[in-house]
Amino acid sequence: MPERRSPLRTVLAVIAWLFGAAIAYGALTTIAPDALTPPLAEAGTSTAFPYAQVVDFPVLLGGGLALVGLVFLFVGIWRLRAGGTAAALVAGLACLVAGGVHLYRGFDAGLASPPRVAAEEVSPQPATPPEGDAAPEEETAPASPLSELTITQLNVADDTEVHDALVRDLVRAQPDVIVIAEAGPGYGQALADRLAAREAGTFTVNESTASLVVLTSADTTTLAPAPVRSLDTATNRTRITQGGSLVLTDGAGTKIYAAAVAPRDRADMRPYQLDISGLAGACEHNNLIIAGDLRASMNAGPLARSGCTDVATELGYGGFGTWPAGAPGWLGASRSHVLLGPAPPQGAWKPEHIAYFNIPRSNHRGLVVTLTR
């Protein structure tokens, strides 16, 4: 006659299974929050707390889940041998599967660090011809589409001082467009003046309604601000991102959307969710370039489902963390991006090169991306 189980052991077994099922479900939902959970936000559960905070760190999340999974696995094997339930074993296997998926995604996107900006500065060209040579007569050339474009993105964390180290890196990078997030008062003009003093070219300062400033080279581009409503789609508003929005176009096929996403506030995630949703909608525009601090990795549901291509991922560095700067690149979160919208049949921008640089007094890393077509 089989041994009768006591009511207490039955209750404990039920509790163990409920606990194990909760752990397993929680781990597996991190793989695809939008598909495996009830909608916690209009833009998808991946933009809600706590998923929005953890999916940006694939290595940290994957490694943590794998470690927890191993602990539960050993506990589950021990409990089975002692005549207990397999609840811990199931939870451990689920954590291991989820951790493995996150680690795979990180390695697949590319965890290597891109090169730093070139160490050698380019010597400025003389403003006047050498003595004895006749100055060539200037001719007004018709506007032609750009064939190469270098975009720099940096977050200066409300700094108002332009540091020498940053100026040196920008001189080396030779950018055509500089997108600055969280710029302090007067920062854009101060940076343009410092670059001009270093004979790095003349830059036009374009300020958004927030702390977003975009510098465009007057020597290599004819980019000028355009109405943000030119990007209106079914999911966008007049001002697409609350952190700052600026559309620049040269009238010859180049359109850049510079954006700064609203901070992720645990108490109120809606501004962030609206911004991410708006950015994903902007990806519907052919040949649009989106650049800025998006405060999210491409694992955020709206961005993952959009038609945009992440330049860093295409070049094999999609897992490189631009925040926090104090952590190794492979352990951080990729939050600064240059994205490319769906490519038209001809004249599509293509990723050519990417590099990074450190920003003094900021916990962010800057990116330099070169596009060609």
Query: What is the reported pLDDT for 121?
Result: 44
Q: What is the pLDDT of residues 18-34, one digit of tens each?
A: 999 999 999 999 999 99
Where does 30-57 have alpha helices with state H?
33-36, 51-54
User: What residue type is assigned to position 83 of the chain?
Assistant: G
Give the residue extent of every domain in the chain.
Answer: 7-109, 148-372
Beta strands in 123-229 (DSSP E): 148-155, 177-181, 203-207, 213-217, 224-226
Per the structure block, which two tokens stand in for 248?
């620049």
User: Within its chain, how far is the Cα of 318 from the centroid?
Assistant: 9
Per the structure block, which two tokens stand in for 19?
């606990």
Q: Calculate the dihedral angle through the C-alpha atoms of 283, 289, 294, 298, rounding to the nearest 10 degrees.
A: 60
For 1-27, letters b (16+ CB in 10 Å) and e give: eeeeeeeeeeeeeeebbeebeebbeeb
> Residue ranges of the chain with pLDDT lower than 70?
1-5, 83, 118-144, 209-210, 230, 232-239, 344-347
The reply to whether CATH 3.60.10.10 applies to domain 148-372 is yes
CB 280 within 8 Å of CB 235 = yes
Query: What is the reported pLDDT for 244?
Result: 84
Query: What is the reported pLDDT for 137?
Result: 44
CA-CA distance, 117 to 14, in Å (whole number)? 58
Query: What is the reported pLDDT for 5?
Result: 63
